[in-house]
Chains A and B, each alone.
Chain A
Amino acid sequence: MHQALSAAISIGFFGLAYAMVLYLISVGLSVTLGLMGVVNLAHGAFAMFGGYAVTELMARAGLPFWAALIAGVVLVAAGGAVLERVLYRRLYGGDELDQVLLTIGLVFMSLAAARFGFGTLDQVFHPPPALAGTITIAGRSFPTYRSFLILSGAALVALLWLGLDRTRFGAMLRAAVDNPRMAEAVGIDTGRLFAVSFALGSGLAALGGGLGAEILPISPAYPVQYLVDFLTVVAVGGAGSIRGPFLAALLLGISQTAFLYFWPASGSFFIDALTLGLLMWRPRGLVPAA
C-alpha cells in the first residue's frame, strides 16, 4: 500500500512537471492550427530557440535565469511576429502541401542555424541556485526545480485562460477561431489578430523551451526530436482548442512518466498505442474546437 502510494505520488509529480512543459510549448501550435489553418511543423524551433536563449545568455552573458528567460521569450516572440508577417500569412487558407514544404524548410534552416551557432551537443542547463536541490514536503523530498515548474506552469495556464476569457483580445481571438468571416464582418482586424496571436504562441513556446530545458535537453535536433510529442498533444487535445491540449498534455505527460517508471524499456510503444486508441475514439480530439 505504502509503495503504491509512493509510486502514485512520484508519477503524478513528474508527470505534471512534464505536462506543463508540453502544454506551454504546444498551445501556440493549437492556436495557429485552429485560427489560421496552418500546420506549423516548425513550431518546435521556437521552443528550441527559447531554450538556447536561456542557456546561452546564462552561460555566456552571465545573465540571471529570470532575465535570460524573459529576454528569450521577447526575442522569439518578436521573431515569430516577423516570420508571420513575411512568410506564414501567405499560407493562410492555402494548400496544405505548401504549408508542409515551407514549415519543414524552416525546420531544416533552424537545425542548421542551431548547429552553426551553438554546436551539436546538448546544452548544459543549470537551474538557478535558489531552485537547485530538493525540498521536503510532508516527509517526502521533491526536486525544487520541478516543483517550481509545476507551480509556474499552473500560474501561466491560469493567466492564459483568464486572459482569453476576460479580455477583449481573448474575445476577438475566440470569435475569429469560431467564425473568421463573421469576425471580419463585425470589424475585427483579423490580420493584426493573427500576428499578435502568432507572436504570443511563439513566445509561449520559447517559455516552455526555456523552462523545460532540464526535461527536454536543448540540442539542434530538438525541433525534430520532440515534434511528434507536440503534434500528439494538439491532435489528441483538439486542434484550435485552448483547453483540450492541456488535458492531452496531462494525459501524455503522466502516462509517459508512468511507463518510464514501471517499464522503461517498452514505454514508447504503449504511448503510441494509447494515442492511436484515443484518436480512434475521438478523431477530432478530446475537446474539439467548435
Chain B
Amino acid sequence: MRRFAILLAAAGAALGLTFAAPAWAKTIRIGIITTYSGPLAPPGISMDRGLTLYAKLHAKDLPKGVKVRIIRRDDTGIAPATAKRLAQELVTRDHVQFLAGSVYSPDALAIAPLATEAKVPFVVMNAAAADLVRKSPYVVRDSFTLWQVAMPMGEWAAKHGMGDAYTAVSDYAPGWDAEGGFIAGIKAAGGKIVGSVRFPLNNPDFAPVLQRIKDLHPHTLFIFVPGGPQSTQMMKTFNALGLAKAGIHLVTTQDLVIDSELPKMGNIPLGVVSSGTYQEASKRPANRAFVAAFQKAYPGSIPDFPAMQGWDGMAMIFRVIRQTGGTFAPAQAMAILSHYSTTNSPRGPFHIDPATRDVVENVYIRRVEKLKNGQLANVRFDTFPMVSDPWAKMHPQK
C-alpha cells in the first residue's frame, strides 16, 4: 500500500512538472512534425525553411531572457501512425508547448486528439482537410482548405466563358475536396460539369487519363494533383499529348503550378490560370522582404506556399510568446492564436476566425507569365477577397 502511495505521488509530481513547466520555463519548446524525407518531402522541407527563417530573423524580438527551441521530427510522408507517435514523444518526453507543421491531412488528423489530451496548441501549417479544425479545440490553421481555393476557381471559370468543365483529380481526400469545391463554384456561377475522373494517387503515368479527356474534348479542364514532383509530371504529360493545342483550356489550383516546381517545367505552363493563396512574384513589400531573406538563407531555392505558411505559423507562435512574455497557459495561447490577424503576411492580409480557428484570406486568380528576367511566375490578375472555408458554411457543426 505504501509503495503504491509513493508511486502515485511520484506520478503526480511528474504530471505536475509537465503541466507546470510553462509557468517557469523561459525556453519555449516548439515541436515541428513535418515531412523531411521520402518522395513527398519537398513541401515539408519548404515549410521547415520558412518557419526556421522566421524564428532566426525574429529571435531578437522575443521578450528578454526568453528563447525558442525548435524540435524537428520527420513523419516521412502520409504516415498517421508515425505522426501520432512523434507527437506523443514530443509532448511527454520533450514537453513541447506548441505542436506545429503537418503537410498531409492524415498526419494532422492523427495528431489532433493528442493536442486535445495534452492541451497543447497545434498550429497546422499546410494540411488542408476541411474538417481538421473540428477535430480538436487546440487546432488552429494558417494554410487553406481545398474547398476554399478551388471554389473561387470554379466561379471565376464559369464567369469567364469556361462554364463547360471536366474535372480530373488525384483519388484521395484533398483531390475529392478540390473536385467538390470546383464543382460547387462552377455551378453557383451558372456553369456545368461535363464529366469527372479520379485517378490513382500513385499513378506512374497520366497519359491514358489525359488522352481520354483529349478524346472527349471538353472546353475547360480542371486538374488537381498534390504540389511537388507530380506537378511537373502532370504538366509535362499535358504538353506531350497536346491538350492545349487541341483547344482545351486548363484551370487548376496552385498545387499544379507551385512556384518551386515552375523552373523544372520549361515554357510548358505559360498561360495556365490557377487559384491560390500565395505567389512568389507578388510585389507586396512584405513578400519582397520574405523572398529576399529566403533566397539569402537558401541560395538557389524559391519560396512557395508551404514556405510562406511555415513563416506565418511561426509568426503566430511568436506573437503568443511576445504578448505573454513567455509565460502562458494553453488556453491563453489558443485565445491569442485564434484571434490572430495581420495585414503584413507575404501573402497579404489574413486572419483566423475565432469561431472556427481556421484561416480567412484572399484567394488570388493568377496566370503563369514570363517575367523580364526570363523566369516563369504566377502573376495575380484577380482577387476573391477574404474567403473563408465554404465547406464549413455548407456543413454547420451540430
A and B from one complex: yes
> Considering the complex, which residues of chain B in the window 185-214 have a beta carbon less than 8 Å from any beta carbon of chain A?
197-200, 203-205, 207-209, 211-212, 214
Q: Is B117 an interface residue (CB 8 A)?
A: no
Most buried by A among B41, B232, B240, B266: B240
Asked if B42 is at the interface of the complex by the 8 Å CB criterion, the answer is: yes
Does B9 sit at the interface, judged by CB under 8 A? no
Is the Cβ of B242 less than 8 Å from the Cβ of A143? yes
Q: Which residues of B are found within 8 Å of A215, using beta-carbon distances? A: 204-205, 207
| B212 in contact with A217 (CB, 8 Å) | no
B198 near A122 with CB under 8 A, answer no
Asked if A134 and B242 make an inter-chain contact with CB atoms under 8 angstroms apart, the answer reads yes
Residues of A14-59 at the interface with B, using a CB-CB cut-off of 8 Å, are: 14, 18
Q: Which of A166-198 contact B (CB under 8 A)?
A: none
| Bound form: Cα–Cα A214–B233 in Å | 9
Q: In the assembled complex, how far is the CB of residue A162 from the closest CB belonging to chain B, in whole angstroms?
A: 30
Whether A221 sits at the interface, judged by CB under 8 Å, is: yes
A134-B39 contact given A124-B232, A217-B233, A261-B212, CB 8 Å threshold: no
Q: How far is the CB of B211 from chain A (nearest CB, A)?
A: 5
Contact A134 B241 (CB under 8 A): yes
A-side contacts of B39, CB under 8 Å: 120-122, 219, 221
Cα A143 to Cα B41 in complex, Å, equals 31
Give the contacting residue for B198; candidates A10, A261, A264, A268; CB below 8 A.
A264
Query: Nearest chain A CB to B226's CB is how many angstroms away?
Result: 13
Which residues on the A side are within 8 Å of B37 (C-beta)? 120
Q: Are A121 and B229 in contact (CB under 8 A)?
A: yes
**Cross-interface CB contact of A265 among B200, B233, B240, B264, cutoff 8 Å:** B200
Interface mask (A137-150 → B, CB under 8 Å = 1, otherwise 0): 00001011110000
A260 near B246: Cβ-Cβ < 8 Å: no
Asked if A133 is at the interface (CB within 8 A of a chain B CB), the reply is: yes
Given B211, B229, B236, which contacts A14 in the complex, CB threshold below 8 Å? B211
Q: How far is the CA of A265 from the CA of B264 in the complex (A)?
A: 28
Closest to B198 in A: A265
Interface contact A18-B200, CB-CB below 8 Å: no
Specify which chain B residues have a CB less than 8 angstroms from the CB of A265 in the assembled complex: 171, 197-200
A262 beta carbon closer than 8 Å to chain B: yes
| Residues of chain A at the chain B interface (Cβ within 8 Å) | 3, 6-7, 10-11, 14, 18, 120-122, 124, 126, 132-134, 141, 143-146, 214-217, 219, 221, 225-226, 257-258, 260-262, 264-265, 267-268
Give me 12 A-to-B residue pairs in the complex whose CB atoms sit less than 8 angstroms apart, sorted by A's number: A7-B212, A7-B215, A10-B208, A14-B207, A120-B37, A120-B38, A145-B240, A214-B240, A217-B204, A261-B208, A261-B209, A264-B197
